[in-house]
Amino acid sequence: MKSYKIAVIKGDGIGPEIIDEAIKVLDAVSVKKEFELNYEEYLMGGAAIDITGEPLPKETIEGCLNSDAVLFGAIGGEKWDNLPRDKRPETGLLKLREALGVFANIRPVTVYDELTEASTLKESVVKGVDLTVVRELTGGIYFGQPRAIEGDRAYNTMVYTKEEVERIARVAFDIAMKRNKRVCSVDKANVLEVSQFWREIVQEVAKDYPEVSLSHMYVDNAAMQLVRDPKQFDVILTGNIFGDILSDEASMISGSIGLLPSASIGGRVGLYEPIHGSAPDIAGQGIANPIAAIASASMMLRYSLGEEKAANRIDNAIKRALREGYRTKDLSAFGAKEVCSTSEMGSIIAQYASEGS
Ligand code: NAD
């Protein structure tokens, strides 16, 4: 039997509550004895600061690097907001991403049929949306040199190397091959040289994927098209700053922050986390929606462990729970037959996942 080492970072606020449910569901699919998961818990964020004084202790970095994947909840809270920047919880997460070398951020946006009403967009616009944003995470203007504030001027630099564009494009094309085989590369090639370069490299990479159809879109148009007709997209491939903005915009199409997972991959070890934060306002009440964390666990099975069948079982179990009217409090206004707690929702999904074929 295959056996995998999973580093678990529960973090702060609702982090521990939702990660416990993700593990419950993972155990339910691995119980089929096709593979075994061994978890090791590590500290990061506020929980780590309280015990060690550091947001990302050395043992956490080493433990994560020696694992097959990292499953992470969320970090942060008011208690640590006034610490100096390098001691704050968020610094821990940024440093962990860097240590793992993850350069591709993947955010699928699925609109579940039962929850179309939860979106601020019209039902006819969002029904059936199923897209994935692939964002380059470690290059572009957020990291480019030179950068400075100098007297009465300031500047940043948007740089991409051939290697950086090639590797993120490959991630997007590989994902498209497992989906509907369409990639839309988003840039600003009408104005920026770096975008013209990006476009040329993406076109080169596309030659290795003859089954995938490639289109290009300027970022201003993409921002508009995402709210006009999001169904037109399958995989959106884009750079760091455009991806930062577009992935947040895309996440709102689904209407609920508690549903959306993410993966950061491409480095030594993949990192899987819900897109939401630690939600201190609802922590400890047993009302957090665990679906984003559970869907992140499913992405971990798919992208880091290659356990596609088990990932599908989880995705189908989430859909079934929603179809049958189970809702956590955040979604209770949208077709709830039964409002359940965080742990009840986890148990229902775990049960359906273990029944799935
Ligand atoms: P947040 O995502 O934690 O919460 C925003 C709103 O969404 C809150 O009303 C919250 O109750 C609700 N919400 C979030 N997740 C939910 C879930 N699973 N189920 C039901 N409702 C949910 O964002 P925020 O309030 O801006 O930030 C709170 C803390 O989280 C801050 O310290 C922030 O720095 C941190 N944060 C961490 C991460 C991360 O760990 N990756 C990401 C964003 C924010």
CATH of 120-254 among 3.40.50.1820, 3.20.20.70, 3.40.50.150, 3.40.718.10: 3.40.718.10
Query: Which of 49, 71, 278 is the best mutation target for the ligand 1 pocket, counting ligand atoms within 8 Å of the beta carbon and taking the most?
Result: 278
At residue 256, the pLDDT reads 83
Atom number of ligand 1 nearest to Cα 18: 18
CATH superfamily of 1-103+258-357: Isopropylmalate Dehydrogenase (3.40.718.10)
Taking only Cα atoms into account, the Rg of the chain, rounded to an integer number of angstroms, comes to: 20
List pLDDT tens digits, range 47-88: 999 999 999 999 999 999 999 999 999 999 999 999 998 899
> Helices 15-30 and 342-355 sit at what angle, rounded to 10 degrees?
20
**Ligand 1 proximity of 55 Cβ (cutoff 6 Å):** no
Atom number of ligand 1 nearest to Cα 288: 19
Ligand 1 center–CA 68 separation, angstroms: 27
pTM for the predicted model, two decimal places? 0.93
Nearest residue CA, atom 12 of ligand 1?
279
Amino acid at 316: N
Residue 217: closest CA among 197, 241, 233: 233
- In degrees, to the nearest 5, what angle opens at C-alpha 304 toward C-alphas 299 and 306? 85
List pLDDT tens digits, range 161-214: 999 999 999 999 999 999 999 999 999 999 999 999 999 999 999 999 999 999
**Ligand 1 proximity of 187 Cβ (cutoff 6 Å):** no
Q: How far apart are the first and last CA of the chain?
A: 18
Ligand 1 center–CA 289 separation, angstroms: 11
**pLDDT of 32 strictly over 80:** no
At residue 49, the pLDDT reads 97
- Average pLDDT (114-120) is 92
**Ligand 1 proximity of 345 Cβ (cutoff 6 Å):** no
Would you say 75 and 48 are in contact if contact means Cβ atoms under 8 Å apart? no
Does the annotation count 244 as an active-site position? Answer: yes
All CATH 3.40.718.10 domain ranges of the chain, comma separated, are 1-103+258-357, 120-254
Does the annotation count 187 as an active-site position? Answer: no
**pLDDT of 357 strictly over 70:** no
Amino acid at 250: A
- Average pLDDT (295-324) is 96
Write down the residue that tokens 């950068």 correspond to: 147
List pLDDT tens digits, range 221-271: 999 999 999 999 999 999 999 999 999 899 889 888 899 999 999 999 999
* CA separation for the pair 167, 198 (Å, rounded): 12
